[in-house]
Amino acid sequence: MTKILVTGGAGFIGSHFVKMLCKEESNYVFCLDNLFTGSDKNLESLKDKNNFEFLNQDVRDEISIKVDKIFNFACPASPIHYQRDPIFTMTTSVTGTLNLLNLALLHNSEFFHASTSEVYGDPEVHPQKEDYLGNVNPIGIRACYDEGKRAAETLIFDFKRKKNLNVKVARIFNTYGPNMSRDDGRVVSNFIVNAILNKDLEIYGDGNKTRSFCYIDDLINGINTICNPDVKSEKPFNIGNDKEFTILNLAKLVLELTNSNSNIIFKSPLSDDPIKRKPDLSLISEYNWQPQIELKEGLKKTIKYFQTILL
């Protein structure tokens, strides 16, 4: 039996990954989460599974289990959450990752790390390719997350170079779908929740900033693709959707799909908020992966999920 540790496994992305792993009876999955932003409700369907175990624990604390694979999703990923306790966020990324790397080294475990497109900061290169070094404000209010993830990548590739650890890193671009919490704080969930409740949709700035939105199923498939033993790379992989939308167009589409009476209102821009974000997917496409789910289709699925928990 393959023993697998998934940290941050009660969160949005982590819970989807845990459920996927538990479908394979030859896997025994340890889900570790301190529930800072995750929810045990995301794992309710697994409570009677014989190959699943939940550990309520902080990733920065000692972990004394022997596992074959480690998948690290532990870290608040939404600005409202990671800015709530920026020191916690930074140490989760750095100390937590170092803790897991040492565990992987001890047991010769395969190691996957969920990094982020935020390592590119407010990019001056568009679209963003993996060899772009980024444009990050190291003392800005987003730095606890951006620089925390950058430091984690440094640790991971030093372990690879110096200790020959088997590592894979994904730089995840904006992802959405079921299991997002109603107070997630990111733009897709904010717009959908407010539209369903007929509250104003708030846009920070003029609405012309762009993002590229990836549906959760595509992301999970992308992670599986790069974690295949046949996939070799000396650098991280971008995973996301390379179709770009303005925030204003996203808001209009959500209103259309929810048949909402909400209004769109414009507020002052947020500090250090990137103007544009779009992945270059050339590297992962070499391994026959491309996103399959269009934004409209993914939003319909996500709206249906939020309607079940809100209405």
Q: Mind telling me the catalytic residues?
A: 145
CA distances from 254 to 187, 259, 264, 297, 298 (A): 11, 8, 11, 11, 11
Angle separating helix axes 86-107 and 143-163, nearest 10 degrees: 20
- Proportion of the chain in helix, strand, coil states, percent, rounded to 5: 40, 20, 40
The pair of three-digit structure tokens given for residue 264, joined into one six-digit string: 């769109």
Angle separating helix axes 12-22 and 216-226, nearest 10 degrees: 60
CA distances from 264 to 163, 216, 249, 253, 267 (A): 52, 26, 11, 12, 10
β-pairing, 210-212 vs 244-246, is antiparallel
Yes or no: say if 136 and 143 are a contact pair by the CB < 8 Å rule.
yes
Kindly state the DSSP code that residue 44 receives in the 8-state scheme: G
Yes or no: say if 157 and 84 are a contact pair by the CB < 8 Å rule.
no
Non-local (6+) Cβ contacts of 154 within 8 A are none
The pair of three-digit structure tokens given for residue 114, joined into one six-digit string: 């969920």
The pair of three-digit structure tokens given for residue 158, joined into one six-digit string: 């030093």
Place of tokens 């699925």: 301
